[in-house]
Amino acid sequence: MPLPATFMNLIDRCKIPPGSKVRLKHFDPSFKGNHESHAAAAKEIDHYQKKLRALQDLLYAERRHSLLICLQALDTGGKDGTINHVLGAMNPQGCRVAPFREPSAEELAHDFLWRAHKAAPARGEVVIFNRSHYEDVLIVRVHKLVPKPVWSRRYEVINAFEKELVEHGTHILKFFLHISAEEQLKRFKQRLDDPARQWKISEADYRERAFWDQYVEAYEDALSRCSTAHAPWYVIPANHKWFRNFAIARIVVEHLESLKMQYPKPTVNIDHIRREYHAAKKK
């Protein structure tokens, strides 16, 4: 199923061109493309999840490339849901999730990129950063955990780090899951009302809402300064969870298909093994 022109327009709509100045108010978090509902998109979502599995199998077998996917969002933006519903289609044998929680004492004893480099994918592997090294220009900025002269220098350091990964065969796709303040409040209520989700609730969730504007400003700067040709940022409309999954799956599929991967040639004599197989079958 080739990517239609309408979806290529969506990629252009979501992808942040290098050097551009991002204003999140210009991105509609409720955008859902040409599909009116989850039911209308279900067949295509299933198709691209299966495609993801097949392409990841190729990546794992060929072992020439690796893929790093960074997921960033404000609280309830859907990082876990994206991992479960889109990237969960992949084979766990070649796929790993690296959560970026509050740094440990060991991590704080190193430079801020130490834990990111340590978690980066090996050849043939897909790694998803659930939050990422961008926390060090987001939360540390909003809450003034380090001085401005410190965090403001980190954009260039991050760009250099990502370029180094790319030069060694890692492909990087970065997704900001864009939800509205109203949608966030709605999802907080769902957590309050659903016993299966209440474990996710923390008092910090509601305290952080007071910093919404500061986080938006911090994200806008990170997206503007760190979307590069080799490691682009995508702003994904995420008020509709199904559309979020649909858009990310197709973007990842398109990128992996562009690698023109092939299964490696066998390292054994297939004809010889086939003869042994038929001989054993006759016994």
Reported pTM: 0.91
pLDDT tens, position by position, 152-193: 999 999 999 999 999 999 999 999 999 999 999 999 888 888
Cα–chain center distance at 71 = 4
Q: How many domains does the chain have?
A: 1
Residue with tokens 């970065």: 174
Mean pLDDT for the chain?
91
Question: pLDDT band at residue 2, thresholds of 50, 70 and 90?
Answer: very low
Give me the CATH number covering residue 119: 3.40.50.300
How far is it, in rounded angstroms, from Cα 260 to Cα 258? 5
Helices 38-62, 241-258: axis angle to 10 degrees equals 30
pLDDT tens, position by position, 198-217: 777 776 777 888 999 999 99
Query: 52 is in which domain, residue-wise?
Result: 5-282
pLDDT tens, position by position, 233-259: 999 999 999 999 999 999 999 999 999
pLDDT of residue 87: 80
How far is it, in rounded angstroms, from Cα 136 to Cα 141? 7
